Amino acid sequence: MPEQTLAAVVRSAAEWLAAAGVTDPLVDAELLVGHLRGLRRGEVQAAIVRGDTLDEQEAETFEALVVRRAAREPLQHLTGVAPFRYLELAVGPGVFVPRPETEIVAQFAIDALLNAPDPEPIGVDLCTGSGAIALAMASEVPHSRVFAVELSPDAHAWAARNTADAENLTLVHGDLADTLDEIDGTVAVVISNPPYVPDEAIPRDPEVRLFDPAMALYGGPDGLDIVRVLSTRALRLLRPGGLLVIEHGELQGEEIRTLLATDGWRAPTTHLDLTRRDRATTALRP
């Protein structure tokens, strides 16, 4: 098989991915080439303009990656990494892939830590998954102390890999309901992106439905079982005036505000994401 131009290979891959229903087929095709060659996306685009080619082995390896992506295996599982704010996280089977919308949710917790009067404000990330939110807090607020809790052994292993070099971050393998008792009443912010999909719901995206771990998705009949536990646990962890941040589905804001108000939280407020959908609810510890 003769060498193929990068432009032709990427164009063909993008058409294939588009036919498979992939949302951003050209972006994914370029990122897969970047993964193959160790290039950033901009460098791939420059290589296309230059008329660079792929040899036979590269073309076969690339085609195998495209076949897997066309089967809706997450791009991040193929490349092994997921961007999150200023970070690049290791991800793969067994851990929830962090989403761009969560970057905005994390900002609430980061701002709370930055504005806290303590010399070493404490942040807690419950259901940390890959460690994305916890590591963002620890790296962007280096004078903070961050604790992250994850129950799933598979997800905990990914979080351990991602947070290994963060000296101000402590990762705990355990249940959010009965860990971190030693810091009760001292925490400035508790944040969580918990499982919140109702048990009977079927996620729209095949990447979620087929590849994200069920333990990270499903939260009981109404999706709020873990949220109820979060509410009572965060009341103990936070100091008076401390902030709770919960990411959730677009139809759950009102119910979560009611739940938090019933538990005694102050000023429960739901916030929109960039698509104008409900994405997170915050509340203050009385």
Interval 38-68: pLDDT, tens: 999 999 999 999 999 998 899 999 999 999 9
What pLDDT shows up at residue 274? 85
198-221 per-residue burial string, b: 16 or more CB within 10 A, e: under 16: beeeeeeeebbeebbbeebbbbee
What pLDDT shows up at residue 33? 95
What pLDDT shows up at residue 1? 46
Interval 93-138: pLDDT, tens: 999 999 999 999 999 999 999 999 999 999 999 999 999 999 999 9
**Domains of the chain, residue spans:** 4-71, 90-284
Tell the CATH superfamily of the 90-284 domain: Vaccinia Virus protein VP39 (3.40.50.150)
What pLDDT shows up at residue 2? 55
Q: Domain 4-71: give its CATH code.
A: 1.10.8
Quickly list DSSP for the chain: ---EEHHHHHHHHHHHHHHTT-SSHHHHHHHHHHHHHT--HHHHHHHHHHT-EE-HHHHHHHHHHHHHHHTT--HHHHHSEEEETTEEEE--TTSPPP-HHHHHHHHHHHHHHHH--SSS-EEEEES-TTTHHHHHHHHHSTTSEEEEEE--HHHHHHHHHHHTT-TTEEEEES-GGGS-GGGTT-EEEEEE----B-TT---SSHIIIIIS-HHHHB-STTS-HHHHHHHHHHHHHEEEEEEEEEE--TT-HHHHHHHHHHHT-EEEEEEE-TTSSEEEEEEE--
What pLDDT shows up at residue 4? 86
Kindly state the percentage of the chain with pLDDT values over 70: 99
What pLDDT shows up at residue 275? 87
Kindly state the percentage of the chain with pLDDT values over 90: 93
Interval 199-253: pLDDT, tens: 998 888 999 999 999 999 999 999 999 999 999 999 999 999 999 999 999 999 9
Q: Is residue 3's pLDDT more than 80?
A: no
Mean pLDDT of the chain: 95
